[in-house]
Chains A and B, each alone.
Chain A
Amino acid sequence: MEALIIIEGMVIVLLVVLVAGLLRSHAEILRQLDSLGAGEHHETFLASPRRQSSLGAIGARALHGVTPLGASVSLALADARGHTLLAFLSSTCASCGAFWNGSRQLGLEGVRPVIVTKGVESESPAEIARLAGAELLTIMSTEAWDEFRVPATPYFALVDNGSGRVVGEGSAPDWDRVEDMVRRAIADAGLHRSTAQRKADVDEELADAGFEPGDARLYQRPETP
């Protein structure tokens, strides 16, 4: 009887240790998910740019890599038009399943989605080719992962190809949510242009229309019909 009580006590202690370990592991997972903007924070994550510096400042004006079929690629991330949505995915990431196979095209004019995986030293080109399909551009580039400091997958970075700046980045559970966040990030970037940026835009539009600084026509009253 005494031995039974001792054994029972040991089992209880083991169970307590096991439960404590599970709770600690669970708390760590929740903490990491929270830092990535997962769960309830999805909607606000991408809309707030974390990095304000231009891509030029971190050394990337273009995205270099290879396709899963072995082609060498260089995509412009600056001095070009539109936006590039970089989707950093991994073949071993369970949450990436919703983004593979090109089954979903973004319904956003001027936004080109590009899947970026790590290079051939980390991923199997054949497996990436199978997962990605042919509908979306897919580039294997560990250099890009380092450049964008990808913290986990799936992870998205929206680049304004004109300025070469990252205007949004973060994580999301599916393409629908990514599309919402991209739309919001583009709208926010447009609203939050500095006075200097807006002035430069106006100067450019005037120059395109043939009006140089100091042009006398700028100071004339508009003709009334």
Chain B
Amino acid sequence: MTVLSGEGIEVTLPPGWEGVIGRSGAVADGAVRQVVAHFASFPLPAVRGDFGGGATEGMGPQDVLVVLFEFGPEAVGSTLFAAEGMPSISAADFDRSMLQRSIIGQSGVQRFFTTAGRTFCLYVVIGSHLDRVDVVPTVSALLGSLRIK
């Protein structure tokens, strides 16, 4: 198990997983760079979109990508982020139509929430919708280990 922390986020990565916690690089001059975290059960490529573009294309059936994207303080208190605390995910939550970029076989789940006065979108992609039951326990363990300050 590896503990990774940055930007007020701490997570315990399962064996073989890797992660990057930083700020979005694709912003216009003067814009606030949003906090983005990527946790993956497969080798992350150097160039990735905030929501995993560039990474999801190479996922195998048992692969998982977990994205945490922070929205600005202006989102605090809005209806979209009304849910408090880290969401839990079940196999039934995964939906093939929930993907930022549709790839055959994959499915995803998206949740918006507020914790520690910060607003986030949690986005999880799995390599095979058919194998979702197998990977959910690992995803739940990872989400359960997340600490946000």
List the interface of chain A (C-beta within 8 A of B). Answer: 61-62, 64, 67, 69-76, 78-82, 84, 102, 112, 134-138, 161
Contact = CB atoms under 8 A, between A and B. Distances in A.
Contacts of B77: none
A62 B11 CA distance: 14
B122 interface: no
Contacts of B46: 102, 134-138
B15 A74 contact: no
Contacts of A102: 46
Contact of A67 (B16, B22, B43): B22
Contacts of B22: 67, 69-72
Contact of A71 (B15, B18, B23, B42): B23
B16 A71 contact: no
Interface stretch (B1-9, B64-72, B98-106, B128-136): B1-9
B4 A72 contact: yes
B19 A74 contact: yes
Contact of B2 (A74, A135, A161): A74
B5 A72 contact: yes
Given A69-B25, A71-B6, A137-B46, A76 B18 contact: yes
B15 A79 contact: yes
Contact of B42 (A61, A69, A70, A81): A81
Nearest to A63: B18
Contacts of B42: 80-81
Closest CB pairs A-B (n = 7): A71-B22, A72-B6, A79-B16, A79-B15, A137-B46, A80-B16, A74-B4
8 contacts: A64-B4, A69-B22, A71-B22, A76-B15, A78-B15, A78-B16, A79-B15, A161-B43
Interface of B: 2, 4-7, 13, 15-23, 25, 42-47
A70 B25 CA distance: 11
Contacts of B5: 72
A146 B53 CA distance: 34
A74 B5 CA distance: 9
B141 to A, nearest CB: 15
A61 B15 contact: yes
A71 B43 contact: no
Nearest to B3: A74
A8 B21 CA distance: 69
A134 to B, nearest CB: 6
A137 B7 CA distance: 20
A72 B5 CA distance: 7
A74 B116 CA distance: 24
Of B5, B13, B16, the most chain A CB neighbours within 10 A belong to: B16
B134 to A, nearest CB: 14
B43 A84 contact: yes
B135 to A, nearest CB: 15
A62 B23 CA distance: 22
Contact of B43 (A64, A72, A112, A134): A112
Contacts of A138: 46
A67 B18 CA distance: 14
A102 B46 CA distance: 11
A101 to B, nearest CB: 13
Contacts of A72: 4-7, 20-22
Contacts of B45: 112, 137
